[in-house]
Chains A and B, each alone.
Chain A
Amino acid sequence: MDQLITYLQYPFVVYAMIVGCLIALCSSLLGVTLVLKRFSFIGDGLSHVAFGALAIASVLKMNNQMIVILPLTMISAILLLRAGQKTQIRGDAALAMISVGALAFGYLILNLFSSSPNLTGDVCSTLFGSTSILTLTRQEVIMCACMSLAVIILFVLLYNRIFAVTFDEDFAKATGVRADIHNLIIAIVIAVIIVVAMSLVGALLISALVVFPALSAMRLYRTFRAVTICSAVISVVCAFIGIVISILAGTPVGSTIVAIDVIVFFICWICGQLTGSYNR
């Protein structure tokens, strides 16, 4: 406890926590839509693309790596959502191809061209997140905060539309909702979240952040609003606890948060089973 208080005296630790919670909040908000649209794996595929893009960016020695990563991830997000709508199988295969391909090329490029003395460490931290949230730079923190806020505002403004299109896309289109533009926005937002979240939990663990809170909330609640709010709360609480534990115990941030998400999911699942059997 003392240790935690000492840490909290550094404003920087507090900032890092805020950013962690914001990222968790964003990813859980869109998680509900992705899970319901059967797009859970898009998060995973996109994070691999982001890893590949990161590899390119670091080999090119760019100062601002976002210039490469963000557009590449966005384009893949748009392509994947398109493919996923046509037929289930084609979308699935496209996803697998892109994600594994990007991963392989990313690692290859890094190995061939990188001059970093600690290559394995670099790769490990982009895949599984930084070992300590304290290694985030100030610039990263500010950028994360801005992007997260933008995503949250966008989500609130689009909330009703997201429900309509997720629930029944054909009906929404038939009654004059511009579902294509909507899907485009969703794809872009997902890409932003993936890129932002990569610095927290790393490329391989992002989809956990997206999927678990939504699944947990769906065990407990039966309306869209309740599920959305509940998954946001679960996600933020898990992220907070995870960051605290990781600071105290010195465990890697990303995997600690995800481990707590998993535990919470099982608790919710059991609760859901219990209340479910009462209702029936």
Chain B
Amino acid sequence: MALITVKDLAVGYETGIVASDINFEVNTGDYLCIVGENGSGKSTLMKTLLRLQDPIRGEIVTGDGLTRGEIGYLPQQTQIQKDFPASVREVVLSGCQGRLGWRPFYGAFEKQAAQKNMERMGIASLASRSYRELSGGQQQRVLLARALCAAEKVLLLDEPVSGLDPVVTAEMYGLIEKLNREGITIIMISHDISAAIHSASHILHVAKTAWFGTKEDYRSTHIGQRFLGQEGGRT
């Protein structure tokens, strides 16, 4: 049974459907990359997968005993305010909140998990720095460490590299690939199609009618060629 199976899904808001006929499945260890134009509904789809909003039609089935607490999330733009006082350690630890249940305080286990994930992301030395004084790349790493605290099985990343320079972008992709090799299933939204196609195993192209398949198949489809060609022309 697949980890996540999506059948005939339509997503959107009260104002209307944004994307429909989405069908795909994700298995343990997959690296799914979601591509599509601005406003095609990628973030909306991700929020629906996270159950932050209800699907308009269709269903999302989770298998392999995947529960909500095992999914980590890296939002596209956080509404985190510029002046929010928070240290890196506080932010990363807050990723463990979902596991606490009714316990009020973090125990040794959560603190260790936070420490481990900060080391994994190479930000352990920043632990007591203020989050808002970090660079964009460092902030993304902090949020990734927080997502890892929330989940060891599946990570949903919404444009993890937007606004980062090429060097940091490459580092970020490297980190994500490393996590994938360690066995974490990745679902990532990206505009950077060439990089996406380099590391992903599957592609979901969100449009009026969505397309899903392996990246090899994607290269040979009409829609894929057009999208790849466009991107190639621009860069």
A216 to chain B: closest CB distance in Å? 12
Separation of A222 and B89 alpha carbons in the complex (Å): 12
Enumerate chain B residues within 8 angstroms of A170, measured Cβ to Cβ.
Answer: 47, 52, 73, 75, 78-79
Enumerate chain B residues within 8 angstroms of A157, measured Cβ to Cβ.
Answer: 104
When the two chains form their complex, are residues B94 and A160 in contact, meaning their CB atoms are under 8 A apart?
Answer: yes
When the two chains form their complex, are residues A223 and B80 in contact, meaning their CB atoms are under 8 A apart?
Answer: no
A102 within 8 A of B: no
Number of B residues contacting the other chain (C-beta, 8 Å)?
A: 40
When the two chains form their complex, are residues A168 and B80 in contact, meaning their CB atoms are under 8 A apart?
Answer: yes
- The interface-forming segment of B95-103, B169-177, B183-191 is B95-103
Residues of A87-129 contacting chain B, CB below 8 A: none
B58 within 8 A of A: no
Identify which of A167, A176, A218 contacts B80 (C-beta below 8 A).
Answer: A167
Residues of A155-206 contacting chain B, CB below 8 A: 156-161, 163-164, 167-177
A135 to chain B: closest CB distance in Å? 38
When the two chains form their complex, are residues B87 and A222 in contact, meaning their CB atoms are under 8 A apart?
Answer: yes
- The interface-forming segment of A16-24, A136-144, A224-232, A247-255 is A224-232
Query: Interface centre among B47, B79, B94, by most A CB within 10 Å?
Result: B94
When the two chains form their complex, are residues B87 and A224 in contact, meaning their CB atoms are under 8 A apart?
Answer: yes
B84 within 8 A of A: yes
Separation of A167 and B130 alpha carbons in the complex (Å): 13
- The interface-forming segment of B64-72, B209-217, B219-227 is B64-72
When the two chains form their complex, are residues B73 and A171 in contact, meaning their CB atoms are under 8 A apart?
Answer: yes
When the two chains form their complex, are residues B84 and A174 in contact, meaning their CB atoms are under 8 A apart?
Answer: no
When the two chains form their complex, are residues A227 and B85 in contact, meaning their CB atoms are under 8 A apart?
Answer: yes
Residue of B nearest to A221 (CB): B85
Separation of A160 and B99 alpha carbons in the complex (Å): 12
A239 to chain B: closest CB distance in Å? 22
A36 within 8 A of B: yes
When the two chains form their complex, are residues B51 and A174 in contact, meaning their CB atoms are under 8 A apart?
Answer: yes
Instruction: Knowing A168-B80, A218-B85, say if A177 contacts B97 (CB, 8 Å).
Output: yes
Separation of A225 and B131 alpha carbons in the complex (Å): 13
B165 within 8 A of A: no
When the two chains form their complex, are residues A164 and B94 in contact, meaning their CB atoms are under 8 A apart?
Answer: yes
B81 within 8 A of A: yes
Identify which of B75, B100, B151 contacts A160 (C-beta below 8 A).
Answer: B100
Separation of A157 and B100 alpha carbons in the complex (Å): 12
Q: Mask for B76-93, Cβ within 8 A of A = 1, else 0? A: 001111011111001101
Separation of A171 and B90 alpha carbons in the complex (Å): 14
Residue of B nearest to A161 (CB): B97
Range of interface residues on A (Cβ < 8 Å): 20 to 34
When the two chains form their complex, are residues A171 and B146 in contact, meaning their CB atoms are under 8 A apart?
Answer: yes
Instruction: Knowing A175-B68, A175-B150, say if A160 contacts B86 (CB, 8 Å).
Output: no
B132 within 8 A of A: yes
Enumerate chain A residues within 8 angstroms of B150, measured Cβ to Cβ.
Answer: 171, 174-175
B179 within 8 A of A: no
Enumerate chain B residues within 8 angstroms of A159, measured Cβ to Cβ.
Answer: 104
Q: Mask for B99-111, Cβ within 8 A of A = 1, else 0? A: 1100011100000
When the two chains form their complex, are residues A168 and B87 in contact, meaning their CB atoms are under 8 A apart?
Answer: no
When the two chains form their complex, are residues A160 and B106 in contact, meaning their CB atoms are under 8 A apart?
Answer: yes
When the two chains form their complex, are residues A36 and B84 in contact, meaning their CB atoms are under 8 A apart?
Answer: yes
Instruction: Knowing A174-B50, A174-B51, A176-B69, say if A224 contacts B97 (CB, 8 Å).
Output: no
Enumerate chain B residues within 8 angstroms of A167, measured Cβ to Cβ.
Answer: 80, 84, 86, 91, 94
When the two chains form their complex, are residues B72 and A175 in contact, meaning their CB atoms are under 8 A apart?
Answer: yes
A/B interface sample: 28 pairs, CB < 8 A = A36-B84, A158-B104, A160-B104, A160-B106, A163-B90, A164-B94, A168-B80, A168-B94, A170-B52, A170-B73, A170-B75, A170-B78, A171-B75, A171-B94, A171-B147, A171-B150, A174-B51, A175-B69, A175-B95, A176-B67, A176-B99, A177-B98, A218-B83, A218-B85, A223-B87, A224-B86, A224-B90, A225-B90
List 8 extra interface pairs beyond A161-B100, A169-B79, A171-B147, CB under 8 A. Answer: A158-B104, A163-B94, A172-B94, A176-B69, A222-B130, A225-B87, A225-B90, A227-B85
Ranked 4 nearest A-B pairs via Cβ? A175-B98, A222-B130, A176-B98, A223-B87
